Structure 1
């Protein structure tokens, strides 16, 4: 138990200055003062320093609102600080503390079983493994188990051990037992405006949790029933049953058990989670260990083959790159000549186009001239009509001005009469204002004299008040000094007792150190014997491992014999895939098409059309017939296909707008088109082209001559008339019976052939798919053989795991042995430290005795000074009362004089305002008559201007009629010139079309060369990318720096590269650090296996501790509930003078979680809902409950903030009587406005605000 001694407040809410409140040891202390002076800030300061975390409960929105915010005269404070001084009295509730020690011991055992930390070095761990685990602040005990799982994911045994060593254990400090009876305790809380917060215990930094533990079970923590803030007395009854339960739990003292229950449940849940995770991790690490052993065997062979491959790749890339560069150079020369020819034709087209644009410009000028003549003709007609309307408007305006002039004459006469009457009234009011001004000045002189006399009396009274305040401050300082010296005397006595107890404890500590020294000696001998036995087991495992290695070598030879089968088929597939990718890229980019077609497809999103492809995409013919179809359709094979006429118009418009040349566009939806095999059984041209009937019908309309061609088996059977075309199955062409076309295309022609490219894409796709299936089949066979080898290697890996495990066990024992030696040395040092501390404490006791004698002398001097200041305060108070009566009389006289002066001044202001208003009105009328005269003069001028304007308008109308007739002749001449210009433009357009046709032929020739050039460049770029990927070297630098031998064979080198690639591919992923990783993984596996068993033991211990906590909590809550319920019934009847009140559990079968319902029946009333009680009845019921709790579990002190406000005098009397009886065991601090409550107090503290916004304390103690 603690008793409240002193409260220090600085910068908290309205207490801007340092304020000290000293509380008496027993009885009731009352805090009084007017509304808004800061009384409740005292109770909130105590709640805040004890750990209140809700700003709302402190009447704020955020926590920094508790810092003094400043006033008009003061700056805001930068910090709020509250210090609470308590003193521990005789020890109580020892049995409860003993139970807590038992439970803490069990929780500590859980942590010790989780990980053995005796052999772990105390080093800090890196933060890399902290990402996926979050620990609550109260779950410190689970951190050891969780750390084992995290460490398993990132490091070796030494790393894991260092991580666990740095983690905290469950070692709760019981602060209540750390302070001896009579020892002082100070609790401090600071809050800075920056948001930083500090908690201090006896001027040493601590945690909020430490303060909560210190007061847990005393009524000052958690639900803190010992502090009843303003308005909270009613909330006790209106709160939820589950929230109301917190009061009973705090009184029962099971809040500490609750905390340990949460810790145990958290440990249990975390341990189960950790067990599942660590089991999964162990399985994964075992799998990883086997894989690492296989990788280590492959690493050496892989490095040798990798270096040979790198040398060959340099040579092959250099040879192929040099050859492609030469071919590209030759092709670029040919392409330059083709471009030159095309530019010459384009130059001729440009010249004709310029002439065409010039002709078009002349036609456009003629058309613009015609438009201008027409516009002038219409403008003159419009101007003539406008002038006629303006003439009519001015005639009407003349009539209106003459009428307005007559009205102005009458208004000027009336305004002059009004000005004369206002002048007479102004003369009368000037005389009246002069008389009232003289009266007001006389009354003001009388008032000034009365105020001077009042200020003299007021200054005299303030002087006396200052003297009284000085004496009061002196008295408070002397009183505080007496209390402080008394406290110091008690502190000296307490310190002497504690030091004596400390010497006895050190002697017991010395005996324990001797015992530890002997135990560690015996354990070191036993550990040495275990190390010898483990070494014998290790030798047997090494022999078994050597036999298994010989079996694995035999299986490996079988695997190498089967690995070569995959090489040939992979080479073939790689070549086909490379060629297929190149052809697809050319087809997707439309590289074999004219540049205008390429640009059209590239801009189809911008045009807003989704092109379906080209005519060549839809034709499917054999190799023999490709050239004949290209001769038959020519450039029309590049015809672009669209879905609708709307899309076709968009495409043509884009071609015309961008001058891309002429491209045919065909409307047809290929969605319904199904291709047929080339050269079918029938003899129709549609079957020969490999197209469907619908598409053939469309082509017949567009290309009637070509689609009417006949198809025959051979040239011998061909018969052709002069008006028809014949095609043979071998690709020969006969036109009109006279022109025969035959032969095969050479390789260069094939590269620029649209149909050849399409055919090769189809054939190569089928061939590559077949080769890929053969590759997969061969790979499965190799994988099967490799799996057999892996089984042999796994057996070797398992044996190695047992060997490493035994080696780690030996290492662990050796580390433990070193740790025992260190502990023996620590025990020796501990004995020496204890002896030195006993000597130091003895010297400290002598020093305290000397300081105690000096403090007693100072206490006597302070008491004499306090009594002398009290006498001075009484004399000055009498003098102040007499002066106040004189000041009040003078103030009454001054009020009467001030009223008379105000009446005279008001009359003066009224006369002056009336005079000013009339003068303003007179000035307004004079201005109005001046404006009317000016308007009349302006009307005369306006009539003259209108007459002049009417004459000008008549002349303008006559001139417009003459210009209209002349423009009729100019209009007919412009129409004739426009017709002649348009005929010239049509002639130039026909000539330009012929030149565009010649340009298209040159463009086709250049396109074939570009296709060949693009293919070679693509191959070179692809080779460059592969060179960078394989060698991380630029191809140009490689060609420049690589010298090839004369006997270098490119084909043989490529075959060897493919062979090496296949072997390296069969290796799979190679880990160059496999050996190093293997050692760490085996080390980690061994450690985690032992930790898994430790976690199983921890789960069992946590379940036992949780069961014990619940059993004890249930029994303590039951005992407390029954006792408090009995007390509540008694206090209810006593405070109400009868009636019945009791508490009920909502769920009696679940006593640990059940809510609590309060039943109240005041005398003479039926049992009813709590919310229907009056305000006074609710307050009395809540007070009865609080008093019942205090009777069962007295708190160190109790703070009640205006709980008696709703009570009448009779109930206040019963309330005061009861708390007076209970004040023998508990300090009561009551904030009140009630006089009867004040009368019962042994000490009164008055809270005032002499300065606006700043609270101060004045105290009075009654003997």
Structure 2
């Protein structure tokens, strides 16, 4: 597994998108101080999940977002992508490459991705557990990490050893198990507290329930006793009725023997009895019909109650549906406003993209125009150079001719002067006199001119006066001129005549002057050409500077256009998503509207049904009243007819005195029988009115009665007394107790489950600690052995030791580092020099790599405190380990740079903005700038 590339945008000083391609072996990251080298390390730590702003050299997490410069606006997002190769399958993801991405927006929103899929920070950290990669692992070694390794606190050194031992995930799982154990204990305490409250309610309701059940049992037993009493009475009446019926039959038989004489009276009596019986039959039928009407009315009332409940449910559902519809309408309106806003923003973005494109075309035209000017200037400068060469050649030829001519003039002049007897002293004296005279004449003339001008300005006198004043000095000037002419003749006489030949237009002096004039003209032309070339070169330099500015601006415009086009595409996608959401919400709104209409329809149907039932109940009540009136009329009629019957029987008795005693006994028995029947009917009616049940249902039980009536009444009194002794009774206690009992049993089961979970967590924690201790001990012993070897190699001798502060507590013990460089005593690492401390930390790093190598390692200026000899040993070790691991080192040391196979340069062409340059060393040289 190797670090393949790092892509940054908006992270700290990387305002523009920068892609760094890493190779295997050793890579050196170079650049002047303050150019952003350490920002590369910060970016890798950040994308791997670093949350401590201090470790990122920031006050707030938002400080990692590019904050702008004088020439660049601040950005609103920091985006870093780290790509790793996973050919060896070391990471638990079935892909050859893994891209880790983290984005942070200025509003504080943060996102993490693995291969483009959004994940949690916890998922990201778990991916790198025990790989040597991560924010706390030894894959990133910087001055702060060296301070942690070499800290005076042995406990702070454990992290590297734990990562190398591969127990980080076990420690995290152990801490997670401990947190779960704490939560389980908290849950147990909460459940125990709730269980205590429920137990109190459980015990109280159990007592109430037992009391209520006893009360119900007493009520049922009292009902049974009352039923038995009623049946006992019924049995007595039935037995009495049967007995009297038998007596009636006997008396009737006896009466029949004498009835022939009184058939007419008996016939009349029988007719009346038939009418009474018929009326009683009708009365029973009326009672049945009345009971049926009452039952039907009760059913209707129950239906009305159920329908009323459904009406409430429908109304509640309608209210909820209307609220939901309102919420959906608000959401649809909000989404539509958002789409309008997004479309407006997209249109404005499109206009800005068009403006940027126009600016790009403009700058391309400017660059093309500048290149054309530069090319034309180069051609002109080349032509001027050719002309300079030609003129210089011509000057050289003329100078040769001039030299020859000058030599000829000197030779001829010497010869002529010697032949003519020329006196140089005479010529000089005549020349001096002539010059003196000319000077006097000139001064005099100038004086007169000045005088005339002063007079003219002063305006003194008339013009004639001015002229007169000028004429006064004119004679003097004429005399002086004649003197000058005489001196001129004398000077001319002193000059040899052969000089006229030299000075003639076709003479040798004139030819020499012409040559000198030609040389001057040629040299002037050469100077002009060189000045023109300088002007052209200056113009080209200015045009080149402008072209660099134009190209830089053009590149920024293209980058901005790409970013704006990406934003425009994102806006279009967002608009599509929002429009899709609007469509979905409108469909939901339509469905809710249909459901709401259906609910209104069902509500209306239910209300109509209630009204129909109420109408039916009203009809049943009227029918019940009619039946009750008819029953009252029948009872009245029966009573009236019975009274008439008795009267007729009495009348018959008086008329039938002759029948004697037999007839009287018959009549007495018949009256007793009628009374018994009335009492039986009364028993039935009273039982029905009291218990709403028919006594006929229990007639089979009547045959099983064994107790006497007095025993039943005494038992009923005892039951009433026991019922009164119970006092107030909660009739709903059994049902309430059943609910509390179920909750009590549920909580008790939960408490049992929590106890089991607690024991399981304790066992898991103990297993994790045992396994972690074994792994840590094994890795610690390996690192300890390797540390001594690496220390001797890096220091060229000496020895080093690792010691556990508390060997009995392997998982919590700090680690002491003792070092003895060559020629020194064995002492604590805190007493070593800065270079020795750094080299000791490097030895520990490589010792750790020998136990569990990290796929890649970032070293941030850890060679800064090393001298030349130590740097050499360090680089040798670096090259050795670089064959199996990937090393990226930030350094200013030339030896360290020389050991690298790839050089990565960080520059700041623009103030505050970092750029990356990569150079591969060895074989073919490649230079890349991003």
Q: TM-score, normalised by structure 2?
A: 0.45
| Bigger-Rg structure (1/2) | 2
